């Protein structure tokens, strides 16, 4: 998979792998590497990493409901895989999509509308796309009506971020 993990993902990756050199500033207290003292009683590994990833996303993403995110993502799964190196199906594989330029996956035949839109999938752009793909990029080929509920969109984006950072 050659899609570059741009802007956001290296930060997420740092959060997911313990012991990255620490250049992070805000929200940084979730990061004390390796030594897992979880005063709040959560399980030491996965949940700490997940919390760090959500903290890096910032804003309301810290409140994301990942169970709902996984449930919402089932609607995407009819057309998208998310695993690293997953197949393109009706739509392109979405591994590493956050922070990536639109229409950047190898060997997927995008619409010219999406290819020429000049978008980068930062969190706000992704949110707008999932809310109403047709409004963001008229004429694109993703036939999905959109998720109306802002919390559902937040949760599904958080799910994508966590799944992508988890390997
Ligand atoms: C009915 C099939 C279908 C469903 C359902 C669907 N998508 Fe898509 N998606 C596509 C297709 C097809 C494209 C490529 C669009 C184009 O080239 O115009 C796409 C493109 C995308 C892209 C841009 C990928 C890139 O490489 O730039 C993202 C992000 C995306 N979809 C996310 C989602 C999410 C999140 C969901 C669920 C909330 C979802 N999609 C549901 C078919 C689907």
- pLDDT tens digits along 44-56: 455 669 999 999 9
> Is the pLDDT higher at 18 or at 133?
133
CA distances from 47 to 50, 149, 157 (A): 5, 25, 17
CB–CB of 82/94 below 8 Å? Answer: yes
Dmax (CA) for the chain in angstroms is: 51
Residue 106 CB coordination number (10 Å): 10
Over the chain, what is the mean pLDDT?
Answer: 81
pLDDT tens digits, one per residue of 68-113: 999 999 999 999 999 999 999 999 999 999 999 999 999 999 999 9
| Ligand 1 atom index nearest CA of 3 | 26
Closest CA to 154 of 65, 33, 29, 77: 65
CA 112 to chain centre: 24
What is the value of pTM for the model shown?
A: 0.79
Residue 75 CB coordination number (10 Å): 15
> Tokens 């799910």 identify what position?
159
CA distances from 28 to 11, 24, 55 (A): 11, 6, 8
> Is the pLDDT higher at 128 or at 38?
128
When pLDDT is cut at 50, 70 and 90, the band that residue 157 belongs to is: very high
- Ligand 1 neighbours, Cβ below 6 Å, are 75-76, 78-80, 90-92, 94, 97, 102-105, 110-111, 113-114, 121, 126, 129-130, 140-144, 147, 156
**Quick check: 18 pLDDT over 90?**
no
Which CATH superfamily hosts domain 66-165? Answer: Cytochrome c-like domain (1.10.760.10)
> CATH 1.10.760.10 region(s) of the chain?
66-165
16 alpha carbon to ligand 1 midpoint, in Å?
Answer: 26
């Amino acid at each position: 998979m050659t899609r570059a993990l741009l802007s956001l993902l290296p930060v997420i990756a740092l959060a997911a792998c313990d012991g990255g050199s620490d250049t992070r500033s805000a929200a940084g207290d979730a990061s004390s590497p390796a030594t897992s003292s979880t005063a709040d009683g959560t399980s030491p590994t996965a949940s700490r990493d997940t919390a760090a990833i959500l903290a890096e996303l910032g804003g309301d993403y810290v409140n994301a409901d990942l169970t709902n995110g996984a449930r919402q993502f089932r609607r995407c799964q009819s057309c998208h895989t998310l695993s690293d190196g997953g197949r393109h199906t009706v739509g392109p594989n979405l591994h590493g999509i956050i922070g990536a330029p639109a229409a950047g996956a190898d060997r997927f035949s995008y619409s010219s509308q999406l290819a020429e839109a000049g978008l980068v999938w930062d969190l706000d752009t992704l949110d707008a796309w999932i809310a109403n793909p047709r409004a963001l990029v008229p004429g694109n080929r993703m036939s999905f009506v959109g998720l109306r509920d802002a919390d559902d969109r937040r949760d599904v984006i958080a799910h994508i971020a966590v799944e992508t950072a988890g390997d």
